[in-house]
Each structure stands twice: as structure tokens, then as C-alpha cells.
A = this chain, B = another copy of it.
Amino acid sequence: MIPPRAADEAAATEAGGRRRLGRLLTAVENDPAAAAEIVRSMWARAGGARRIGVTGPSGVGKSTLVDHLIAMARADGSTVAVVAVDPSSPYSGGAILGDRVRMLRHSGDPGVYIRSMAARDHLGGLAAATRDAAHVLDAFGFGVLILETVGVGQSELDVMRAADTIVVVMAPGLGDSIQTLKAGILEIADLLVVNKADRQGAKETALQLREMRHLAPKPSGWDVPILQTVASEGTGIAELWQAIRQHWDYLRASGEYEVRRGRGTVREVMDLVERALAARLRATLGAPGQVGEILERARNGALDPHSAAQAILDRLLTQSR
């Protein structure tokens, strides 16, 4: 796998660069070993993109909101790449459908690149594949990187952790779904948005978020704002973009930027180590006449659990050479 030579914005905006980018992202998505090699070879050029995460339950209008954010970033003179992640979809059907609509809209703009990722059978994990895709897009020179997820499960949380600024989107009338936000996602929100704010119950949703915000531990120096938008009409978008820029300024001025990126990197490294160990264990389990035999002897009581574990561990570490 040969990495692209040019790492400037030209590489991302010219047609040849985009085709190369597409091939690299496909490799990153489908082959963890290739992903490691690609990221390694491009690493020196990555790290300059501002990473915005956008998450929230489905049906709150995230795609429309992201479309506006693309436009705001473009108006600021920045190139934009979007990674749309759908962990709930075994195929990339839904995400790709939305993508195509958006791709059509932005097809005339060489400064915008949109890529969807679905659960499929990511050996390295969807969050890991998304992080690698982000590194590649970053190295290609995109100024703003938007990580967008569908739903609010654990995978989405893991994806969001790769972002510098995390925007959690809600909408009125989702009832119980605001409760599900409690399970971790609220704690990592830097900005809270009530979209479809012209609908009934918007004020109540904002109040609920305000209450829940008080339950979450507050980051020092940053008061998580609650913004109201009507993305379908473009209302409140300029204020949202302004708040995102203020969060960037806060991250930089407070030194929180380096702390976060560092923490994220350590988490990413340890996650890769754990995945590699788990993959090694699975591979050993599948080998005939190997670990399966040890487990069988444990199962029928011939071998005690500790001796069986030690035998598997020995095999695991021996085979690694």
C-alpha cells in the first residue's frame, strides 16, 4: 500500500487525490493490518484537523445539522471531511443513502469529502476503523473533520472520543430517549443542541437537558451551552458554529487540547493492544487440536481451570514468535 505523496489540501481536492483517498479508506475499513501500515506511513502529516463529533438519537435531524456545519466551515475557508458512522446497520445502506443525497449536493465542491462507515464485519472494531479513517483524512489535509454517528450506544461513544468537540443533538418529543442519553453520552458533551426547536416541547427538552447537565461532572472553565436550532430552516446555525469555534478557542487557551488529545491517544493505543491480544486468543481457540483440546480436558474435569488457563497462555505466547 503506497501512501499518497502530497499531504496538502491539493491532494484532497484534486480528482486523482480523491480516488487515492477512497482506495486508502476502503483498505483501512476492511483490513486492520493494512490500516496499521497506512496510518503509520501517513502519521507525520496527521494531527492538524479540527475534529467535531456530532451524535444523538436517530430522528433528531443530525444529517441536516451536519450539512449546515459543512457550509459554515466552507464559508470560513476550510476544507471539510465527514465520516458518517452507523453501528446499528449491518450494511451501510442507511448511511449510504443519506450520503448519496449529501454527495449530490456537495458534488460540485472539491473541498468537501463524505464517507460512510457501517458495522459490517470490522475485525478491528468500528470505532478503531473510524479513528484510522479520521487519521487518513487528517493526513490528507482536511481542515475540519466531522464524525457523525447514528444512535447513542457504546460504539457511538467510542467514536465520539476521537473528537475534540462533541456536539450532542436532541429534539423535542423523543420521550424516553432523553433518558438513554444519561448513559454516558451526556458526560462527554461539550455542546448540547435542541434541534427542531420550533416544535412543541422544545422548551421542556431544553429544561430537561439543563437539569441533566447539572448531574454530569463539569469540565473546569467550560460551561456546556444548550443551543436551540431549526436545522431545516437554518435557524440557530450561526450561533452553533460560533459556539463550536468558542470551544476550540477554549481548548487551545486552557491547554485542554493537549490533555484531551494525549488522553485519546493513550486510550487508542491501549485499545489496539487489547484488540490484538483478543484476536490472538481467538486465533488460538480456532486452531484444531490446540486450545480446544485443553478446554475439553477442563470441561470434563481432567484438568483444573488454573492449569488449563496456564496451558492456553503458554500456547498463546509461544505462538506469537
Name A's B-contacting residues (CB within 8 A).
35-37, 39-40, 43, 47, 131, 135, 262, 265-266, 268-270, 272-274, 276-277, 281, 294-295, 298-301, 304-310, 312-313, 316-317, 320-321
Contact = CB atoms under 8 A, between A and B. Distances in A.
Contacts of A308: 269, 272
B277 A313 contact: yes
A278 to B, nearest CB: 8
A269 B305 contact: yes
27 contacts: A36-B306, A36-B307, A37-B306, A39-B304, A39-B305, A40-B304, A40-B306, A47-B301, A131-B305, A262-B300, A265-B301, A265-B305, A266-B298, A268-B305, A269-B298, A269-B309, A270-B309, A272-B305, A272-B306, A272-B308, A273-B309, A273-B312, A273-B313, A273-B316, A274-B281, A277-B313, A317-B321
Contacts of A262: 299-300
A307 B273 contact: no
A234 to B, nearest CB: 38
Given A266-B299, A269-B309, 13 more contacts: A36-B307, A36-B310, A37-B306, A131-B305, A265-B305, A266-B298, A268-B305, A272-B308, A273-B309, A273-B313, A276-B309, A317-B317, A317-B321
A310 to B, nearest CB: 7
Copies of this chain, complex-wide, total 2
A15 B308 CA distance: 33
B304 A43 contact: yes
A299 B304 CA distance: 42
Q: Which of A131, A270, A300, A321 has the most CB of B within 10 A?
A: A270
A287 to B, nearest CB: 15
A307 B272 CA distance: 10
Contacts of A281: 273-274, 277
A125 to B, nearest CB: 13
A246 to B, nearest CB: 25
A41 to B, nearest CB: 9
Q: Which of A131, A304, A306, A316 has the most CB of B within 10 A?
A: A306
Nearest to A267: B305
Contact of A312 (B269, B304, B309): B269
A307 B268 CA distance: 12
Nearest to A33: B306
Contacts of A36: 306-307, 310
A178 B75 CA distance: 54
Given A262-B299, A266-B295, A317-B317, A309 B39 contact: no
Nearest to A284: B273
